[in-house]
Amino acid sequence: MMLIRTVVRPSSIHGMGLFAVERIPRGTEVWRYESGFDRSIPGEAVNALPSLARDHVHWFAYQSREDGQWILSGDHTCFMNHSDSPNTGTLPGSRPPITTVALREIAAGEELTCDYRAFDAQAMAKLGR
Protein backbone atom coordinates (compact mmCIF):
# COMPACT_ATOMS: atom_id res chain seq x y z
CA MET A 1 0.00 0.00 0.00
CA MET A 2 1.42 3.37 -0.97
CA LEU A 3 1.89 5.61 2.05
CA ILE A 4 2.42 8.79 0.03
CA ARG A 5 0.34 10.57 -2.60
CA THR A 6 1.16 9.45 -6.14
CA VAL A 7 -0.11 9.72 -9.68
CA VAL A 8 0.28 7.40 -12.69
CA ARG A 9 1.41 8.92 -15.97
CA PRO A 10 3.65 8.14 -18.97
CA SER A 11 7.22 7.25 -18.04
CA SER A 12 10.48 7.81 -19.88
CA ILE A 13 11.68 4.54 -18.30
CA HIS A 14 8.90 2.21 -19.47
CA GLY A 15 5.24 2.64 -20.40
CA MET A 16 3.47 4.14 -17.41
CA GLY A 17 5.17 5.11 -14.16
CA LEU A 18 4.35 6.15 -10.62
CA PHE A 19 5.19 9.75 -9.71
CA ALA A 20 5.38 11.63 -6.42
CA VAL A 21 2.71 14.32 -6.01
CA GLU A 22 4.65 16.10 -3.26
CA ARG A 23 8.29 16.34 -2.16
CA ILE A 24 9.29 13.25 -0.18
CA PRO A 25 12.08 13.68 2.39
CA ARG A 26 14.76 11.01 2.62
CA GLY A 27 13.72 8.21 4.99
CA THR A 28 9.98 8.75 4.52
CA GLU A 29 8.00 5.50 4.48
CA VAL A 30 6.72 5.03 0.94
CA TRP A 31 5.16 1.54 0.78
CA ARG A 32 4.35 -1.40 3.01
CA TYR A 33 2.40 -4.61 2.63
CA GLU A 34 -1.06 -4.12 4.13
CA SER A 35 -2.96 -7.36 4.69
CA GLY A 36 -6.57 -7.04 3.54
CA PHE A 37 -5.63 -4.38 0.98
CA ASP A 38 -2.67 -5.97 -0.76
CA ARG A 39 -2.90 -9.63 -1.61
CA SER A 40 -0.49 -12.50 -1.03
CA ILE A 41 -1.23 -15.38 -3.40
CA PRO A 42 0.40 -18.83 -3.18
CA GLY A 43 2.10 -20.02 -6.37
CA GLU A 44 -0.29 -22.97 -6.67
CA ALA A 45 -3.27 -20.61 -6.62
CA VAL A 46 -1.70 -18.42 -9.31
CA ASN A 47 -1.04 -21.50 -11.46
CA ALA A 48 -4.71 -22.54 -11.09
CA LEU A 49 -6.01 -19.19 -12.40
CA PRO A 50 -7.35 -18.80 -15.93
CA SER A 51 -4.63 -17.82 -18.40
CA LEU A 52 -5.47 -14.09 -18.59
CA ALA A 53 -5.66 -13.74 -14.80
CA ARG A 54 -2.37 -15.63 -14.40
CA ASP A 55 -0.75 -13.30 -16.97
CA HIS A 56 -2.05 -10.30 -15.02
CA VAL A 57 -0.51 -11.56 -11.78
CA HIS A 58 2.82 -12.35 -13.47
CA TRP A 59 2.99 -8.84 -14.98
CA PHE A 60 1.61 -6.68 -12.14
CA ALA A 61 2.64 -8.62 -9.03
CA TYR A 62 6.01 -9.70 -7.76
CA GLN A 63 7.10 -13.08 -6.45
CA SER A 64 8.60 -12.75 -2.98
CA ARG A 65 12.19 -13.91 -2.67
CA GLU A 66 11.38 -14.74 0.98
CA ASP A 67 8.54 -17.25 0.59
CA GLY A 68 7.60 -17.51 -3.11
CA GLN A 69 4.19 -15.88 -2.58
CA TRP A 70 2.94 -13.56 -5.30
CA ILE A 71 2.26 -10.08 -3.90
CA LEU A 72 -0.41 -8.10 -5.76
CA SER A 73 -0.78 -4.55 -4.55
CA GLY A 74 -4.28 -3.09 -4.14
CA ASP A 75 -3.21 0.29 -5.54
CA HIS A 76 -0.98 1.80 -8.22
CA THR A 77 2.25 0.37 -6.82
CA CYS A 78 2.37 -1.97 -9.83
CA PHE A 79 3.33 1.05 -11.98
CA MET A 80 6.62 1.61 -10.14
CA ASN A 81 9.44 1.02 -12.61
CA HIS A 82 12.86 -0.55 -12.08
CA SER A 83 16.09 1.40 -11.75
CA ASP A 84 19.64 0.19 -11.12
CA SER A 85 19.94 3.26 -8.86
CA PRO A 86 16.44 3.52 -7.35
CA ASN A 87 15.11 6.35 -5.21
CA THR A 88 13.12 3.95 -2.98
CA GLY A 89 14.10 0.74 -1.26
CA THR A 90 14.64 -0.94 2.07
CA LEU A 91 17.16 -0.01 4.71
CA PRO A 92 20.01 -2.43 5.49
CA GLY A 93 18.94 -5.02 8.05
CA SER A 94 15.21 -4.60 7.34
CA ARG A 95 13.15 -7.60 8.38
CA PRO A 96 9.67 -8.64 7.25
CA PRO A 97 7.20 -7.16 7.08
CA ILE A 98 9.21 -4.81 4.89
CA THR A 99 8.52 -1.11 4.61
CA THR A 100 10.01 0.72 1.63
CA VAL A 101 11.47 4.18 2.24
CA ALA A 102 12.75 7.10 0.19
CA LEU A 103 16.50 6.44 -0.15
CA ARG A 104 17.07 10.12 -0.91
CA GLU A 105 14.92 13.22 -1.21
CA ILE A 106 12.43 12.82 -4.05
CA ALA A 107 11.11 15.93 -5.77
CA ALA A 108 7.43 16.54 -6.46
CA GLY A 109 6.74 15.20 -9.95
CA GLU A 110 9.71 12.80 -9.90
CA GLU A 111 9.18 9.19 -10.92
CA LEU A 112 9.41 6.68 -8.09
CA THR A 113 11.70 3.74 -8.83
CA CYS A 114 12.81 0.55 -7.10
CA ASP A 115 15.28 -2.24 -7.78
CA TYR A 116 13.18 -5.26 -8.78
CA ARG A 117 16.15 -7.56 -8.09
CA ALA A 118 15.98 -6.73 -4.37
CA PHE A 119 12.60 -8.42 -3.83
CA ASP A 120 11.19 -10.07 -6.99
CA ALA A 121 12.26 -13.64 -7.71
CA GLN A 122 11.14 -13.03 -11.32
CA ALA A 123 13.10 -9.77 -11.75
CA MET A 124 15.58 -10.98 -14.32
CA ALA A 125 12.84 -12.36 -16.57
CA LYS A 126 10.82 -9.13 -16.24
CA LEU A 127 13.89 -7.07 -17.05
CA GLY A 128 14.74 -9.29 -20.02
CA ARG A 129 18.15 -10.17 -18.64
Domain chopping of the chain, boundaries: 6-126
In this predicted structure, the answer to whether residue 97 has a pLDDT above a threshold of 80 is no
Using only C-alpha atoms, what is the Rg of the chain? Answer: 14
Per-residue pLDDT of 10-48, as tens digits, reads 999 999 999 999 999 999 999 999 999 999 999 999 999
Q: Model pTM?
A: 0.92
pLDDT 10s digits, 51-75: 999 999 999 999 998 899 999 999 9
Rounded Cα distance, 83 and 94, in Å: 20
Buried b (16+ CB within 10 A) or exposed e, 5-29: ebeeeebeeeeebbbbeeebeeebe
The percentage of residues in the chain with a pLDDT greater than 70, rounded to a whole number, is: 98
Instruction: Just give the CATH number of 6-126.
Output: 2.170.270.10
Say how far apart CA 104 and CA 15 lie, in whole Å. Answer: 24
Higher pLDDT, 67 or 97: 67
Q: Any bridge partners for residue 12, and if so which?
A: none
Helix H, strand E, coil C: the string for the chain is: CECCCEEEEECCCCCEEEEECCCECCCCEEEECCECCEEEECHHHHHCCCHHHHHHHHHHCEEECCCCCEEECCCHHHHCEECCCCCEECCCCCCCCCEEEECCCECCCCECEECHHHCECCHHHHCCC
